Structure 1
Amino acid sequence: MRNYDVILFDLDGTLTDSAPGILNSVRYACRKMGLELPAEATLRKFLGPPLIDSFRNLMGLSDADADRAVSAFREYFPTKGIFENEVYPGIAALLADLKATGKTVIIATSKPEDFAKRIMEHFDLARYCDFICGATLDETRTDKAEVIAYALETAGITDKHGVVMVGDREHDVIGAKKNGLPCIGAVYGYGSAEELRTAGAAVLAETVADLHKILLG
């Protein structure tokens, strides 16, 4: 197995199970805008992609209505939804072991950066991270490839040998590939093995224990 010195992690569905807070925030936004609540299967598709894209693509909203839906979502999420969330078992130990062995740990998430920092600090995981990088609140940086590029630039990484992305959705794999990085697919998250394999994940981790073995042997 290849030795990775720099590991970029997605957040939702990779480090934490944030589904309850995200889906409750979507439900709140729909109610506020008088929209019919999507079926559960559709709601689950909000987990991973940039939020504004999901409101457009999954609910067929115009750009203006999608903007309003995002604003409504953010009325609920920062005070309630953000902590309707829990760390996957084994993640804290994995991050601690990566840090102890001298690896560089970077968060690269499509969640707004301020929210990502609050979550990592809340769960006492920020201390294991060298950089926490995310999207912008004004939607100018939400695409996963853009977030990964920003994370690499923030960390001053130009040599991509030994750098890998870890994520649970196809957006993570595609974003990594656009930046010349391999991606480990976290099957225990919100995406399926088929989705991750089809997108081109370099290897799949069925469990956090598998991920630990891939990254540290």
Structure 2
Amino acid sequence: MSRVRTAPLACLDLDGTLVDSRGPFAAAMRGALREQGLPDREPAALHRFLGPPLEETAAAIVADAVAAGLVPAADAPAAAEALLGGYRRRYVAEGIPATVAVPGVPAALDRLRDAGWRFALVTSKIRPAAVGVLEATGLGAWIDVVHAPSPDERHVPKARSLRAALAEHGDDAALAAVMVGDRHHDVDAARACAIPAVGVTWAGGSDHELTAAGARAVVATPMALPETLAVALAR
């Protein structure tokens, strides 16, 4: 008897992939910087921090303040934790309501679902914030499962969340799954899990970064995604 093949799984990043988070992220972070008495940063300078876990972002920003003599080195861990907490409070109150789906993404997800794909959200954003964004944007209607760190976890590699998504999807999910994201962290996770990655550049992603990391393909518009995912899965 032939085995029924598992439906293909699109493992989707959130920030920069399903939603353009640059504005809400920068606004919440700048507010947190003011709250902590740290130097302001222009939005463009903050956008590069979208992708890694936020605790790494907070630590990097505070490290700059330590180097500038604004924060004692011994106080850096507490300062980073305070910055992270201030950001998260502002993001929940102001950032999530201001977040919208990237134009064209819902239509692309409809086409993929019609073609038999299922969707797992795989994000470094903590789970409550990720679920909040899905609810605020209406994107939760497409997402079958969410894999994200809990609020008390720190430095969770995206590969861990991706492996969990693949394991939940089925034994042969690695043979029928693609990771989609806008940063090299998404590609790195895909490579660690031995599945192809497709990069996207419509909300700040860099073609050079994604290609250098090993993305199988890079697309600039959501409507190019269905065909690109089918090709990536077939190769």
Global fold match (TM > 0.5): yes
Distance 2:150 2:172 in 1: 23
Q: Is the 8 A contact 2:178 2:229 kept in 1?
A: no
Distance 1:159 1:84 in 2: 35
The 5 Å alignment of 1:1-217 reads 5-60=8-63, 62-140=76-154, 142-215=156-229
Q: Is the 8 A contact 1:23 1:46 kept in 2?
A: no
Report deviation, 1:194.
0.5
Q: Is the 8 A contact 2:33 2:39 kept in 1?
A: yes
SS in 1 for 2:148: strand
Distance 1:48 1:190 in 2: 11
Report deviation, 1:215.
2.8
Report deviation, 1:150.
2.7
Report deviation, 1:6.
0.9
Deviates more, 1:6-15 or 1:200-209: 200-209
Question: Once superposed, what is the RMSD of the aligned Cα atoms?
Answer: 2.0
Q: Is the 8 A contact 2:53 2:124 kept in 1?
A: yes
User: For structure 2, which runs of at least 5 residues remain unmatched after alignment?
Assistant: 1-6, 65-75
Tell me the TM-score normalized by structure 2.
Answer: 0.83
Computing the radius of gyration from Cα coordinates, the structure with the larger value is: 2
Q: Which runs of 4+ in 1 moved over 3 A?
A: 153-159
- CA 80–23 in structure 1, closer or farther in 2 if over 3 Å, else same: same
Identity of aligned residues (%): 32
Tell me the TM-score normalized by structure 1.
Answer: 0.90
Q: Is the 8 A contact 1:90 1:209 kept in 2?
A: yes
SS in 1 for 2:166: helix
Report deviation, 1:85.
1.4
For 1:14, the aligned partner's letter is: T
Distance 1:157 1:54 in 2: 35
Q: Which has the higher strand share?
A: 1
Distance 1:96 1:123 in 2: 15
Q: Is the 8 A contact 2:9 2:173 kept in 1?
A: no
Report deviation, 1:158.
4.9
User: For structure 1, which runs of at least 5 residues remain unmatched after alignment?
Assistant: none
- CA 195–6 in structure 1, closer or farther in 2 if over 3 Å, else same: same
Q: Which has the higher helix share?
A: 2
